[in-house]
């Protein structure tokens, strides 16, 4: 067990005032019992069986499980079969999305030091004209997140060179385009051998061609400010169909629905075992154990395995957009699990303090649940990078766990959770090595316990989860 460095939220727990401790005269309710049983029985070993299955599926499906692919479909069939056998009412919710496939990505520094520079087209980039375009580079100020970072007439007709960080790629591209730039190149802000893969997150955001570079190449090109480059970026667009998997418990109160979700799709670059086989396995294993130990009554529990998260949260957006006002009002809480077993893990809990009513309480419950295992959580802003975002925007109380993606672990975090400072939480994020070897077992075990306990509690006391402990 680790030393407990208590954030304020767990102080009541340390003082023996935790909500989980039955008050003197009160017998533990059925919720407490179910939560304890589920926390015991829902294990990393159980989750690993699902992760192994997802790895096999990816191996047999071209190495990935991206939305609209055989790999995703087989993953969905795997989960559906288990959920149906466990007694859930399972439905598939179809939707179409604009799939992109890169057909050209080339960058050449022209002139004396002529050389090819590795570049990756960002998803939803605009295409360069046939044969590409040739223009001088112009380095953006700051991180290219404000119009002032593209001041004057310097960028007109040029290719803006921008550092990654602080704002979205789409915002950087929009500022560059507004200043008259004909394309944008975003270089990484951490060292790496290959350009990062990124997305503009919105099919309409590709106003100019946008590519990604390594930090080293970005620095070299920045030093050659004004040098002329030739850029060719091309992506084919195609409408494809995919679907969300929704599994609902039978016999629960239809007016009180507890939702837990994870995205099932991977990126095309790899099998997606941490991102997001881990969240999928956590949700699936919790659902299977819940079905074993709970025979109806209490709230309805609805598990969601979203598709096309990697294309801009499309499955969860489609789902939330399709809810009537009355349906939305029945959802007591949405819990999101995206990347819960990063190998160089953080233990992040989304900070609900600025989210919809009830979210701050969810945060406290999740933090407390980690503290009960002797673990210290750190809060991270909701942000807009995973499937909780559409729920938060719709005013539904939300919360969730996250063990980190491309961000770098700090010294303080390494002291708190172990692992390596200065290295990414997930060195295989969105790449081919996000396989079974890319799973942090300690984080998986801790987080799956939190998921099971939280869902177990919420079945009988959904309102307790969104009420301050
Ligand atoms: N949305 C994750 C991905 O699928 O790439 C990464 C992520 C999750 C980032 C949660 C921030 C918070
Ligand atoms: Zn993800």
- Alpha carbon nearest to ligand 1 atom 5, residue: 310
69 within 8 A of 61, measured Cβ to Cβ: yes
Instruction: Report d(CA 94, CA 74) in Å as an integer.
Output: 15
| Main-chain phi, psi angles of 139, to 5 degrees | -80, 130
pLDDT digits (tens, 9 = 90+) for 389-405: 999 999 999 999 999 99
Q: Where are the domains of the chain?
A: 8-88+249-465, 99-238
pLDDT at 32: 81
Residue 309 near ligand 1, beta carbon < 6 Å? yes
Helices 279-293 and 30-41 pack at an angle, to 10 degrees, of 130
- Alpha carbon nearest to ligand 1 atom 11, residue: 385
**Is the model's pLDDT at 22 over the cut of 70?**
no
Q: Which residue has the tokens 């090595």?
A: 433
Instruction: Report d(CA 20, CA 43) in Å as an integer.
Output: 21
For 161, how many CA atoms within 13 A lie in the half-sphere containing its CB? 27
Indicate the pLDDT class of residue 15, thresholds 50, 70 and 90.
very low
Same fold, 8-88+249-465 and 99-238: no
**Is the model's pLDDT at 25 over the cut of 50?**
no
Does residue 285 have an active-site annotation?
no
How long is the chain? 469
The topology (CATH level 3) of 8-88+249-465 is Aminopeptidase (3.40.630)
Instruction: Report d(CA 182, CA 159) in Å as an integer.
Output: 6
Instruction: Report d(CA 9, CA 469) in Å as an integer.
Output: 9
CA of 111 to the centre of ligand 2 (A): 41
367 within 8 A of 446, measured Cβ to Cβ: no
Atom of ligand 1 nearest to the CA of 310: 4
pLDDT at 295: 85
From the options 3.40.50.620, 3.50.30.30, 3.40.50.1000, 3.20.20.20, give the CATH code of 99-238. 3.50.30.30
Name the helix (H) or strand (E) containing 159.
strand 159-163
Instruction: Report d(CA 171, CA 210) in Å as an integer.
Output: 11
Residue 32 near ligand 1, beta carbon < 6 Å? no
pLDDT at 112: 87
Omega into 276 within 30° of 0, i.e. cis?
yes
Closest CA relative to residue 198, chosen from 119, 81, 89: 119
Provide the whole-model pTM: 0.88
- Alpha carbon nearest to ligand 1 atom 1, residue: 386
Indicate the pLDDT class of residue 197, thresholds 50, 70 and 90.
confident
pLDDT digits (tens, 9 = 90+) for 297-337: 899 999 999 999 999 999 999 999 999 999 999 999 999 99
CA of 383 to the centre of ligand 1 (A): 10
């Amino acid at each position: 067990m680790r030393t407990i460095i208590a954030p304020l939220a767990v102080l009541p727990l340390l003082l023996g005032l935790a909500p989980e401790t039955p008050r003197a005269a009160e017998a533990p309710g059925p919720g407490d019992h179910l939560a304890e049983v589920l926390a015991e029985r829902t294990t990393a070993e159980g989750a690993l069986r699902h992760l192994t299955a997802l790895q096999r599926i990816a191996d047999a499906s071209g190495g990935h499980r991206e939305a609209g692919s055989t790999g995703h479909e087989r993953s969905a069939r795997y989960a559906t079969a288990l959920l149906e056998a466990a007694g859930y009412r399972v439905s598939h919710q179809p939707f179409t999305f604009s799939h992109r496939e890169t057909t050209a990505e080339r960058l050449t520094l022209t002139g004396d030091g002529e050389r090819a520079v590795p570049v990756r087209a960002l998803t939803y980039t605009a295409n360069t004209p046939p044969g590409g375009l040739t223009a001088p580079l112009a380095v953006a100020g700051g991180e290219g997140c404000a119009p002032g970072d593209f001041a004057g007439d310097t960028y007109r007709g040029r290719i803006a060179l921008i550092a990654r960080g602080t704002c979205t790629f789409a915002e950087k591209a929009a500022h560059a385009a507004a200043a008259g730039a004909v394309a944008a190149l975003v270089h990484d802000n951490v060292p790496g051998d290959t350009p990062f893969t990124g997305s503009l997150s919105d099919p309409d955001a590709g106003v100019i061609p946008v590519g990604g570079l390594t930090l080293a190449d970005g620095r070299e090109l920045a030093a050659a400010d004004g040098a002329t480059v030739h850029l060719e970026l091309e992506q084919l667009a195609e409408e494809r169909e995919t679907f969300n998997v929704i599994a609902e418990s039978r016999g629960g109160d239809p007016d009180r629905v507890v939702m837990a979700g994870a995205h099932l799709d991977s990126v095309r670059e790899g099998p997606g075992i941490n991102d997001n086989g881990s969240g999928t396995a956590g949700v699936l294993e919790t659902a299977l154990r819940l079905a074993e130990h709970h025979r109806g009554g209490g709230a309805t529990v609805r598990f969601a395995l979203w598709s096309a998260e990697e294309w801009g949260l499309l499955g969860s957006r489609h789902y939330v957009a399709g809810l009537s006002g009355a349906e939305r009002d029945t959802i007591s809480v949405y819990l999101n699990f995206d990347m819960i077993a990063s190998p160089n893990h953080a233990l992040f809990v989304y900070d609900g303090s600025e989210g919809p009513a009830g979210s701050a309480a969810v945060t406290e419950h999740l933090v407390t649940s980690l503290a009960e295992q002797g673990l210290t959580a750190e809060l991270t802003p909701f942000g807009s990078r995973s499937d909780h975002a559409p729920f938060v925007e719709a005013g539904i109380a939300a919360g969730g766990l996250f063990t980190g993606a491309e961000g770098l672990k700090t010294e303080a975090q390494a002291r708190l959770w172990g692992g390596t400072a200065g290295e990414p939480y997930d060195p295989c994020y969105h790449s081919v090595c996000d396989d079974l070897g890319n799973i942090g077992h300690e984080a998986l075990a801790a987080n799956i316990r939190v998921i099971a306990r939280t869902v177990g509690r919420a079945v009988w006391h959904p309102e307790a989860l969104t009420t301050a402990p």
